[in-house]
Structure 1
Amino acid sequence: MAKIPAPFEWSEEFKTGYESLDNEHRTLFNSLFALSEFNTRDQLEACKECFVMHFRDEQGQMLRANYVHMDEHTAIHESFLEQLGKWKAPVAQGDIESGMKWLTHHIPTEDFKYKNKL
């Protein structure tokens, strides 16, 4: 698993080359950071919504591009959403850190596979 960057924020090392997806990734970083700082039910719901919306958009782009690994990538998203769906506010710090690790691992290992293919 990837090391959690400190401070926990998006940086150029996570750049996919697609401005809209990079902006969404920034939002995911921000939502997890906000959840770690303001661990409320509303913040948790906002975080979940950010992930759902991003995954829908990313998968839509994959579909339109006939991306060969779309099914595999979608399954990874669904698995994370299942994990996220089990979180209850206040969310345990270990769960938030797990989400941060997942995101910092997912982008360079999975999302980078679609560079120049969408």
Structure 2
Amino acid sequence: MGIPVPFAWSESFATSYKNIDNEHRTLFNGLFALSEFNTRDQLAACKECFVMHFRDEQTQMENANFEHFEEHKGIHEDFLEKMGHWKAPVAQKDIKFGMEWLVDHIPKEDFKYKGKL
């Protein structure tokens, strides 16, 4: 899936879990804001959104005994490791990577837990 223009969450990314969909909206907003206002504070806010979302999502997966939990957690950790190297101002190629990762991750990985949490 390509990066949507404008870069924003849409119903095509709905997981059927309102709290997760709201968090996904926040991730889209955080990356969009980082692309527009590429500051240290915006980068810190964006990273925090991802950390908080991954923690929440992983807790729900673990509580539901989701069969792909460890694999999914590893994918999150790999992304956070890459994001951890970003420095403000963040290179546009890195922001684009984050956007592409998010629009690919939700339908390819998060949709696996639809109806299972």
What interval of TM-score do these two structures reach, taking the shorter chain for normalisation? over 0.9
Q: Confirm whether residue 54 of structure 1 aligns to residue 57 of structure 2.
A: no
Correspondence for 1:86: 85
Q: Confirm whether residue 105 of structure 1 aligns to residue 99 of structure 2.
A: no
CA positional deviation for 1:72: 0.2
CA positional deviation for 1:113: 0.2
Correspondence for 1:18: 17
Q: Which secondary structure state, in structure 1, belongs to the residue aligned with residue 116 of structure 2?
A: coil
Q: Which secondary structure state, in structure 2, belongs to the residue aligned with residue 99 of structure 1?
A: helix
Q: Confirm whether residue 68 of structure 1 aligns to residue 67 of structure 2.
A: yes
Q: Which runs of 4+ in 1 moved over 4 A?
A: none
Correspondence for 1:27: 26
TM-score by length of 2: 0.99
- Residue type of the partner of 1:95? D
CA distance in 1, matches of 2:108, 2:89: 30
CA distance in 2, matches of 1:83, 1:7: 24
- Residue type of the partner of 1:111? D
**What runs of 5+ residues in structure 2 fail to find an aligned partner?**
none
- Residue type of the partner of 1:76? I
- The count of residues paired between Structure 1 and Structure 2 equals 117
**What runs of 5+ residues in structure 1 fail to find an aligned partner?**
none
CA distance in 2, matches of 1:3, 1:83: 20
Q: Which secondary structure state, in structure 2, belongs to the residue aligned with residue 66 of structure 1?
A: coil
- Residue type of the partner of 1:110? E
Q: Structure 1 vs Structure 2: percent identity of aligned residues?
A: 72
CA distance in 2, matches of 1:94, 1:59: 28
CA positional deviation for 1:30: 0.1
CA RMSD of aligned residues (A): 0.3
CA distance in 2, matches of 1:100, 1:63: 26
